[in-house]
């Protein structure tokens, strides 16, 4: 979605001028004015270099520091003190709660804390077991456990994936947790929103492919559900019918064609938010919230600080992310899904195409309707007629703009070649 600084500010501009234009996706005012608007909305937040990520729960930089222990029973209070300590046989997780170690594991080697059935500490590194290794405490029967202790367990096959071995099929179970959404110094992600909690969820391991989408479209693209229920009880009501994606014959940047082509394993793009949501509902899921998306891209249960990118903090390069002029394949600007290394079993959270999320887009800050810095539990920001938030970078994003806290908005009727999606369950 993000191609340069002009596109970085598109979401804010669309949100600010939605009442003045019937098609906010075409509004393109000067970049400098948009950045001034962002600076005002950010309430004078300190400008932090992009190579520094601050977690408000642990940063003691305020001159008049107030301990931040709400909802925390252990760990740092953000002012150089402690919110408490855990008893014998337990460890303090990054969320500020105590968790039991696996029986017999001292967890003293200074790596990730040991949670029951997740890590087995031995030698110089934790070893992941094959039985009882899922983060929600249940056995990972029929699945595998990756290097971060995440159980990759395939659910019942969704209708878009009759063959689980097909490229682009599969899902990853994420445990949820309490974390900070956003990052200092990242456009539209400042100030970070601390104490955001998401519950456990499944997320597609890949962006939805043209082939998966075609199965739904050829089945008559059913769209019988109008109210989609999310964790926390919020309901997202469908406001627009499903529409056929823009065809490649109309825009060569689009991957959709009227009949199967060489782009069948590429991400579907050039489609509206409501079309993506209708597919996910038919497939047994929903569009993820932006909090769920960022949790998947930046956090893991035993990591005390967030990643800058899904793969870690190493600078973006074409062998890590398909962006910024990296070569496409099969005559497309995109790659087949899953061409770059996964993180926690998830592919292409950055690069290839940006991804629709369920939330309405708005700037963080004290005047926001949703993101005002208060603790949030399974948030879903719904503001009538506002653009929806897009997360992740695309094949066109410049490397300096890539950050997994970055967020922009897109009109929900827009069908952009740089935007696709994946489903949550």
- Output the pLDDT for position 255: 98
Residue 127 lies in a domain: no
Q: Is the pLDDT of residue 97 over 90?
A: no
Q: Is the pLDDT of residue 146 over 60?
A: no
Could you read off the pLDDT of 374-383 as tens digits, one per residue?
999 999 999 9
Structure tokens at 178: 């309490």
Q: Is the pLDDT of residue 414 over 50?
A: yes
- Output the pLDDT for position 75: 78
Could you read off the pLDDT of 248-279 as tens digits, one per residue?
999 999 999 999 999 999 999 999 999 999 99
- Residue 381: CB atoms within 10 Å: 22
User: What's the whole-number mean pLDDT along residues 35-52?
Assistant: 31
DSSP β-bridge partners for residue 121: 126
Residue 341 lies in a domain: yes
Instruction: Give CA 221 to chain center in angstroms.
Output: 26
Residue 324 lies in a domain: yes
Task: Please tell me the distance from the alpha carbon of residue 424 to that of residue 289, in angstroms, as a whole number.
Answer: 9
Structure tokens at 103: 């029986």
- Residue 18: CB atoms within 10 Å: 19
The lowest-confidence range among 75-84, 115-124, 298-307, 339-348 is 115-124
Question: Which pLDDT band holds residue 73 (cuts at 50, 70, 90)?
Answer: confident
CATH number of the domain encompassing residue 404: 3.90.1580.10
Quote the pTM value: 0.66
Structure tokens at 180: 């900070």
Could you read off the pLDDT of 154-177 as tens digits, one per residue?
456 789 999 888 999 999 989 889
Residue 92 lies in a domain: no
Q: Is the pLDDT of residue 32 over 50?
A: no
Is the previous residue joined to 191 through a cis bond, with omega within 30 degrees of 0?
Answer: yes
The total of structural domains in the chain comes to: 1
Nearest to 389 by CA among 356, 354, 422, 352: 356
Residue 142 lies in a domain: no
Percent of the chain topping pLDDT 70: 68
- Output the pLDDT for position 253: 96
Nearest to 345 by CA among 195, 227, 202: 202
Structural domain of 10: 1-68+147-425
Residue 100 lies in a domain: no
Residue 204 lies in a domain: yes
Nearest to 189 by CA among 30, 67, 365: 365
Residue 78 lies in a domain: no
The lowest-confidence range among 23-32, 288-297, 415-424 is 23-32
């Amino acid at each position: 979605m993000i191609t340069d600084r002009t596109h970085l500010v598109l979401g804010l501009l669309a949100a600010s001028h939605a009442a003045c234009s019937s098609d906010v996706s075409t509004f393109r005012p000067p970049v400098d004015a948009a950045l001034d608007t962002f600076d005002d909305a950010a309430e004078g937040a300190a400008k932090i270099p992009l190579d520094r990520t601050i977690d408000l729960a642990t940063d003691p930089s305020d001159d008049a520091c107030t301990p931040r222990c709400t909802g925390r029973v252990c760990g740092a209070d953000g002012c150089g003190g402690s919110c408490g300590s855990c008893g014998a046989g337990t460890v303090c997780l990054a969320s500020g709660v105590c968790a039991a170690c696996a029986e017999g594991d001292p967890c003293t080697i200074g790596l990730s804390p040991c949670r029951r059935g997740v890590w087995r500490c031995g030698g110089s590194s934790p070893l992941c077991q094959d039985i009882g290794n899922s983060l929600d405490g249940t056995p990972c029967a029929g699945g595998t456990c990756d290097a971060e202790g995440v159980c990759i367990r395939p659910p019942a096959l969704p209708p878009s994936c009759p063959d689980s071995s097909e490229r682009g099929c599969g899902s990853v179970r994420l445990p949820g947790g309490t974390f900070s959404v956003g990052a200092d110094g990242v456009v539209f992600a400042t100030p970070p929103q601390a104490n955001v909690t998401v519950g456990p969820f499944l997320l597609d391991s890949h962006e939805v492919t043209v082939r998966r989408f075609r199965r739904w479209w050829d089945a008559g693209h059913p769209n019988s559900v109008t109210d989609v229920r999310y964790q926390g009880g919020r309901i997202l009501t469908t406001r627009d019918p499903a529409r056929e994606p823009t065809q490649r014959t109309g825009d060569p940047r689009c991957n959709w064609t009227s009949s199967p082509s060489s782009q069948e394993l590429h991400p579907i793009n050039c489609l509206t938010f409501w079309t993506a949501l209708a597919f996910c509902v038919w497939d047994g899921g929903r569009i993820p919230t932006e909090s769920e998306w960022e949790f998947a891209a930046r956090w893991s249960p035993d990591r005390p600080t967030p990643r800058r990118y899904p793969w870690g903090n190493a600078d973006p390069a074409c062998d890590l992310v398909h962006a910024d002029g990296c070569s496409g394949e099969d005559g497309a600007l995109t790659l087949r899904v899953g061409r770059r290394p996964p993180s926690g079993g998830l592919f292409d959270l950055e690069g290839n195409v940006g991804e629709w999320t369920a939330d309405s887009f708005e700037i963080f800050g004290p005047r926001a309707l949703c993101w005002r810095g208060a603790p949030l539990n399974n948030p879903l920001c719904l503001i009538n007629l506002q653009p929806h938030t897009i997360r992740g970078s695309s094949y066109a994003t410049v490397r300096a703009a890539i950050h997994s806290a970055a967020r922009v908005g897109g009109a929900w009727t827009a069908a952009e070649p740089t935007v696709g999606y994946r489903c949550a369950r």
